[in-house]
């Protein structure tokens, strides 16, 4: 690099540029959180949805699945599973309940988590709510 461009100029660009863009990022974040309510439909976050998110976390579901495309890529996307299962909570609950304890020979299998009826209802409500988030039309199709 040329001699005219000094170390202190480089340092100033670093501190100034970083500070500017961090403040700009905070401003964008504020704007985003202000616009969120119409996209995430938080008015529909019931006690069951809250419980469902807790069950989701306590059983590390993200360790195999993606949710809105984030997580592990070992098992299907669940952001739209409510719709994929025909808008049916019962289908989701039935699937989770019926996982064999010892798995399926030679194949990937979801563990049997022995959830209570209340927890099962919570997780289904949570996935139903998740499917109604405005995700800019992602995923491209029902397969997730």
Partner 1 sequence: MQYKSQAVAKPYFIAAIALFVGQIVFGAILGLQYVMGDFLFPEIPFNVARMVHTNLLIVWLLFGFMGAAYYMVPEETETELYSPKLALILFWVFLAAGVLTIVGYLAVPYATLAEITGNDLLPTMGREFLEQPTITKIGIVIVALGLLFNISMTALKGRKTAIIMVMILGLWGLAIFFLFSFYNPENLVLDKIFWWWVVHLWVEGVWELIMGSILAFVLIKMTGVDREIIEKWLYVIIAMALISGIIGTGHHYFWIGTPEYWQWWGSIFSAIEPIPFFMMVIFAFNMVNKRKRDHPNKAAMLWAMGTPVVAFLGAGVWGFMHTLAPVNYYTHGTQITAAHGHLAFYGAYVMIVLAIISYAMPLLRGRAAANSKKSQVVEMWSFWLMTVAMIFITLFLTGAGILQVWLQRINENPMGFMEVQDKIAIFYWMREVAGIIFLIGLILYVVSFFVGGDEEEASS
Shortest distance, CB of residue 29 to partner 1, whole angstroms? 7
Shortest distance, CB of residue 5 to partner 1, whole angstroms? 7
Per CB under 8 A, the list member of 30, 87, 90, 138 interacting with partner 1 is: 138
Shortest distance, CB of residue 94 to partner 1, whole angstroms? 17
Q: What is the footprint of partner 1 within residues 51-80 (CB under 8 A)?
A: 53-54, 56-64, 66-77
Shortest distance, CB of residue 64 to partner 1, whole angstroms? 5
Task: Answer yes or no whether residue 50 interacts with partner 1 by CB under 8 A.
Answer: yes
Among 124, 130, 109, 112, smallest CA distance to 66 is for 130
How many other CB atoms sit within 10 Å of the CB of residue 54? 14
Q: What is the footprint of partner 1 within residues 117-136 (CB under 8 A)?
A: 126, 129-130, 133-136
Cα dihedral 14, 20, 25, 28, rounded to 10, equals -160
Per CB under 8 A, the list member of 90, 97, 111, 118 interacting with partner 1 is: 111
How far is it, in rounded angstroms, from Cα 98 to Cα 107? 16
Shortest distance, CB of residue 103 to partner 1, whole angstroms? 4
| Contact residues for 4 (Cβ-Cβ < 8 A; gap 6+) | none
**# of chain residues touching partner 1 (CB under 8 A):** 76
The answer to whether 41 and 132 are in contact (CB under 8 A) is yes
Per CB under 8 A, the list member of 36, 90, 95, 97 interacting with partner 1 is: 36
How far is it, in rounded angstroms, from Cα 68 to Cα 79? 5
Task: Answer yes or no whether residue 28 interacts with partner 1 by CB under 8 A.
Answer: yes
Among 118, 10, 5, smallest CA distance to 55 is for 118
């Amino acid at each position: 690099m040329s001699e005219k461009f000094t170390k202190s100029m480089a340092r100033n660009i670093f501190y100034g540029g970083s500070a500017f863009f961090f403040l700009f990022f905070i401003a964008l974040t504020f704007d985003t959180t202000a616009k969120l309510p119409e996209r995430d439909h938080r008015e529909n976050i019931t006690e069951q949805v809250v419980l469902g998110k807790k069950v989701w976390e306590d059983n590390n579901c993200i360790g195999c699945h993606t949710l809105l495309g984030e997580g592990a890529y070992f098992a299907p996307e669940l952001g739209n599973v409510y719709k994929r299962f025909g808008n049916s909570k019962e289908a989701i609950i039935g699937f989770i309940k019926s996982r064999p304890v010892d798995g399926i020979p030679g194949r990937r299998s979801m563990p049997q988590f022995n959830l209570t009826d209340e927890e099962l209802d919570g997780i289904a409500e949570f996935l139903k709510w998740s499917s109604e988030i405005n995700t800019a039309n992602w995923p491209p199709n029902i397969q997730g």
